């Protein structure tokens, strides 16, 4: 089942235009990166983004990955189920990213540049042996297969809801766009599209989701009154309410 255009209200047409423009921009970014590629080592350029990505780009890319479709959509359901206790997941995730960025990433970067590693498996192989590198590659590959699969399914779910697409078709469309810009520009295209997606995510949250959310619940005062009426407000923020 495709898009039923004859049944679509005006809002759905606007959704279609916005999502279509979003996908086109992602593909344009991938195409521009591919055309501007000028690294001497094509493999290193594709897999390691020429090793010249700055702090701002890598930070935005990491944030967009952690707060991508799977996380942002799933957190809505988790927050609905667990209440404010679900916010601990975001806080702890943010803390872990900061700690890894300062304590682990610089060492990994220096080691990677030294051994010219292109993947985490390469680093394990250089540090230990080929068998360890292969095991690391398999484990990490399986983990990322699940993670990326979740992101693609989340994107498909969004297309299904907003455009009235069949879920299978929606997943194929979302996955096809991701595959296309990744194949065109490699890691550098992924990072640049992540930067764009992070900007879209921030604008959407700050200027759309938050204002609309406050409007729906009746404003700040209504939210405060609701929490004051809950006897177990403090327990809503406890770790025990997470599980």
Query: How is the chain split into domains, by residue range?
Result: 8-207
DSSP label of 207: I
Whose tokens are 């025990």? That residue is 240
The 10s digit of each residue's pLDDT in 27-64 is: 999 999 988 876 667 888 888 888 888 878 887 887 77
Which residues are CB-neighbours of 109 under 8 A, at least 6 positions away?
none
d(CA 73, CA 89): 14
pTM of the predicted model, to two decimals?
A: 0.78
Residue 11 CB neighbour total at 10 angstroms: 9
The 10s digit of each residue's pLDDT in 144-201 is: 888 888 888 888 888 888 888 899 999 999 999 999 999 999 999 999 998 898 888 8
Strands (E), the chain: none
Residue 202 CB neighbour total at 10 angstroms: 14
d(CA 134, CA 116): 17
């Amino acid at each position: 089942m495709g898009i039923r255009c004859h049944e679509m209200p005006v809002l759905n047409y606007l959704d279609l235009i916005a999502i279509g423009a979003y996908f086109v921009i992602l593909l344009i970014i991938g195409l521009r990166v591919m055309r501007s590629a000028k690294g001497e080592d094509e493999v290193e350029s594709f897999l390691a983004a020429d090793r010249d990505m700055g702090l701002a780009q890598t930070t935005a890319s990491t944030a967009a990955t952690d707060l991508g479709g799977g996380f942002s959509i799933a957190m809505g359901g988790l927050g609905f189920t667990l209440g404010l206790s679900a916010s601990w997941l975001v806080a702890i995730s943010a803390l872990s990213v900061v700690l890894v960025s300062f304590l682990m990433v610089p060492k990994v970067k220096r080691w990677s540049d030294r051994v010219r590693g292109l993947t985490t498996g390469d680093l394990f192989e250089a540090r230990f042996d080929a068998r360890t590198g292969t095991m690391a590659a398999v484990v990490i590959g399986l983990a990322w297969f699940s993670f990326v699969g979740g992101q693609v399914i989340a994107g498909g779910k969004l297309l299904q809801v907003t455009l009235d697409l069949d879920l299978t078709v929606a997943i194929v469309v979302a996955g096809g766009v991701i595959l296309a810009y990744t194949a065109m520009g490699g890691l550098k295209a992924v990072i640049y599209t992540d930067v764009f997606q992070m900007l879209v995510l921030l604008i959407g949250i700050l200027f759309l989701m938050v204002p609309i959310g406050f409007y729906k619940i009746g404003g700040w005062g209504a939210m405060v009154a609701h929490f004051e009426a809950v006897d177990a407000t403090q327990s809503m923020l406890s770790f025990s309410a997470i599980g």
